[in-house]
Amino acid sequence: MSKGSRNPRREMSRALSRVANATVAETLETQAELPEQVLYRIGVTGAPGAGKSTLISRLAARRVERGAKVAVVAIDPTSPVSQGSILGDRIRMDAVSDDPNIFIRSIPSRRAHDGLADNTADLLWAMEGHGFDEVIVETVGVGQAEYSVRAIVDTVVLVLLPESGDAVQAMKAGLLEMADIYVVNKADLPGAELMAGDIAATAARQAAPEINGGDGWVPPVLQTSSRDAASFAALDAAIEAHRAWRQNRIDHDAVRRARSRYQVQGLIGRRAEELLETMPDADLDRSPKEIYEALLQQLATAPGEGET
Ligand SMILES: Nc1nc2c(ncn2[C@@H]2O[C@H](COP(=O)(O)OP(=O)(O)O)[C@@H](O)[C@H]2O)c(=O)[nH]1
Ligand SMILES: [Mg+2]
């Protein structure tokens, strides 16, 4: 579609805008064919303020330097104007050069049941076919989102902050299977070393054969700091290592099917929501079974049909 285009970045930007605010019907119009998925997807997740945007800008710059065409999309619930350091980084990068090998875009997140923006899968889909090699997607981790992002990206990087021992203890229980790479960021702050050690011990124990796809990827635990350029080289290398491991060890067809499942489930959920929002009160004053059956009938008609 974009072959021979003179401005793939603008094209991708338009494609993202189209999907960012689209109804289900509009979204489906862009999904009539199965695209060849070529973008390697790196998910970077973690709490607000963990330093994800800062880390991503360093990581992206490094990967572009190595010759990759890198797209970055930040699904951010905070205003990109007031909070998004990624926007500042973009301005800084653009000031240095109008590098056609990097694309950065911040998109306000929409609510979803699983903490991941309800259209993240569709946004990633829309980024295919514009000549980029990989996409780094920033998502704010609010518990469930860290698990959900697994379904749609290839490598999950979880960014954590050096914290008190108590917080680490509480977190350990939830760390199971969560990420492919753990990063204790802001390692210039006290407590990073201790925390990284704690997580590494937990991660090693959890890399049992029955976890993580069957043959023991042991998630590395790295420390990064915006004051230490070498720390991002280590992160870059860890991502490449995971990518190589994944390439040979996982069932790619199964992954593709799981992604389709996740994406279609999201589309159906949103379509159901659209229909329930416009359902007359009288229709809602019925039993859940009756409402469900009425909804199923409406779902059976093409989405958008009969709408203005
Ligand atoms: N001390 C320290 N501060 C950092 C580091 N990385 C980012 N920050 C600061 O942490 C704040 C949040 O960073 P940001 O990248 O926007 O975090 P995000 O919300 O996870 O995307 C900003 O004020 C950054 O300047 C770091 O390595 N060390
Ligand atoms: Mg951010």
DSSP labels for 223-240? E-BTTBHHHHHHHHHHHH
* Residue 3, domain member (yes or no): no
pLDDT at 27: 92
Highest mean pLDDT among 25-39, 53-67, 146-160, 203-217: 53-67
Q: Which domain holds residue 139?
A: 8-251
Neighbours of ion ligand 2 (CB under 5 A): 52-53
Q: Which residues contact 168 (CB under 8 A, 6 or more apart)?
A: 195, 198, 199
Q: Which residue has its alpha carbon closest to ligand 1 atom 2?
A: 186
- Give the ligand 1 atom nearest the CA of 85: 16
pLDDT bin (cut points 50, 70, 90) of residue 91 is very low
Domain count, the chain: 2
Mode of pairing for the β-strands spanning 155-160 and 221-223:
unpaired
CATH code at position 172? 3.40.50.300
Pocket of ligand 1 (CB under 6 A): 46, 48-54, 85, 185-186, 188-189, 225-226
Residue whose pair of structure tokens reads 């990284």 in the numeric block: 196
What's the rounded Cα separation, in Å, for the pair 97 and 105?
17
Mean predicted confidence (pLDDT) in 145-155: 82
**Same domain, yes or no, for 13 and 113?**
yes
Query: Which is nearest to 230 in space by CA: 264, 293, 196, 187?
Result: 187
Query: Which is nearest to 62 in space by CA: 235, 221, 225?
Result: 235
**Same domain, yes or no, for 31 and 173?**
yes
Q: Which residue has its alpha carbon closest to ligand 1 atom 24?
A: 51
**Same domain, yes or no, for 106 and 82?**
yes
Strand order in the sheet with 70-76: 102-108, 70-76, 134-140, 40-46, 155-160, 181-184, 221-223
Q: What percent of the chain has pLDDT over 90?
A: 40
**Same domain, yes or no, for 285 and 244?**
no
pTM of the model: 0.86
What's the rounded Cα separation, in Å, for the pair 145 and 253?
23
**Same domain, yes or no, for 140 and 196?**
yes
pLDDT bin (cut points 50, 70, 90) of residue 81 is very low
Mutate to test the pocket of ligand 1, among 85, 104, 136 (most ligand atoms within 8 A of CB): 85
Residue whose pair of structure tokens reads 């490598």 in the numeric block: 155
**300: burial class by Cβ within 10 Å (0-12, 13-18, 19+)?**
exposed
pLDDT, averaged across the chain: 81
Q: Which residue has its alpha carbon closest to ligand 1 atom 3?
A: 186
Strands (E), the chain: 40-46, 70-76, 102-108, 134-140, 155-160, 181-184, 221-223
Is the confidence at residue 258, as pLDDT, over 70?
yes
pLDDT bin (cut points 50, 70, 90) of residue 150 is confident
Residue pLDDT, tens place only, 158-187: 888 887 555 565 465 565 567 899 999 999
* Residue 58, domain member (yes or no): yes
pLDDT bin (cut points 50, 70, 90) of residue 288 is very high
**Same domain, yes or no, for 132 and 265?**
no
Residue pLDDT, tens place only, 118-130: 788 999 999 999 9
